[in-house]
Amino acid sequence: MGSKVKTIAVLTSGGDAPGMNAAIRAVVRTALGAGCKVKGIMRGFQGLLEEDIIDMDAKSVSDIIQRGGTILYTARCLDMLKPEVQDIAADICRKHEIDGLVVIGGDGSFKGAQVLARRGINAVGVPGTIDLDIACTDYTIGFDTAVNTAMETIDKVRDTSTSHERCSVIEVMGRHAGFIALWCGIANGAEEILISERYDYDEQRIINNIIEKRKKGKKHYIIVNAEGVGDSNGMAKRIEAATGMETRATIIGHAQRGGSPTARDRLYASMMGAKAVDLLVSGASKRIVGYKNGEYVDYDIEEGLAMTKDIDQYMYDLSIRLSK
């Protein structure tokens, strides 16, 4: 007996993440393999509202697995916060006979999927964000590439920082999530890691540490600062004034969101994209795909979005122990 699902649509939403293309490719090819029609929605929920919807075939996703960004483009659609707009979006899905909608994005995008699911549209979320901050999954597509981009950049800044015997404040992405900063802090051997989940905004403590460590002969000082924990340029100026150590700020910025995805991102994206379609075809409804404790899993969208996540305390404590 064939699947009841005839048409599957896919969109990417929110900040892009390396590996989103691999996920789109997996959705499209798995759905075609299951005998479904596939539609691509351009620019996330914004494109849905504008009915910017294209037909996709196997060729539409050829030669994209290695590319960063998203061939479907993306947007942050604030209009989707309005109930009347959510009604319109659900009507548009029905008009285009979309039986299953795969939403690739972060928790903001999943909220869009959730409100459509509540209006009877079978939406399934696939976690795609460099921030790693989706509670119901240990892995989000894009994190591995982003953290490696940041790590390589910090290594380079560290070289020049050492040559000039400077302090460097290096800002990584993650407005509300310190995962990239924490991973880099450990992987780059930083002296300080400032993440909004733990930072006590005690700049004087950092200044005292720098003065103390310089007395003991430390020649450079690396501070990894998660975006959102103060202004890195201002922090660098204050540290230089208070310690006498030349200090520079480097903001890595959007480079972390681009680039060819790592093998890990391509693989997880392929697995999670395919799983989303397998769920839809098997008749499951309103799910979020994730990866937990070494397995690919799925949760009810309401349950998944209600979960919370914090950084690993052991990992955080370790970052402090290793920075001595």
Strands 287-292 and 295-300, bridge-based pairing: antiparallel
Q: Is 70 helix (H, G, I), strand (E, B) or coil?
A: coil
Q: C-beta of 252: minimal distance to ligand F6P in Å?
A: 11
- What span, in angstroms and rounded, lies between the C-alpha atoms of 33 and 30? 5
Q: Is 94 helix (H, G, I), strand (E, B) or coil?
A: helix
Q: Which is nearer to ligand F6P, 166 or 257 (CB)?
A: 257
> Could you confirm whether 231 is annotated as catalytic?
no
Q: C-beta of 129: minimal distance to ligand F6P in Å?
A: 5
Chain contacts with ligand F6P (rule: CB under 6 A): 15, 106, 129-131, 173-175, 227, 257
The residue from 131, 133, 144, 265 that is catalytic is: 131
Q: Which is nearer to ligand F6P, 106 or 125 (CB)?
A: 106
Q: C-beta of 228: minimal distance to ligand F6P in Å?
A: 7
Q: C-beta of 177: minimal distance to ligand F6P in Å?
A: 7
Q: Is 160 helix (H, G, I), strand (E, B) or coil?
A: helix
Rg (CA), the chain: 22
Q: Which is nearer to ligand F6P, 104 or 167 (CB)?
A: 104
User: How many secondary structure helices (H) and strands (E) does the chain include?
Assistant: 11, 11
State phi, psi for 268 to the nearest 5 degrees. Answer: -60, -40
- What span, in angstroms and rounded, lies between the C-alpha atoms of 188 and 186? 6
Q: Which is nearer to ligand F6P, 20 or 276 (CB)?
A: 20
Catalytic residue IDs: 131
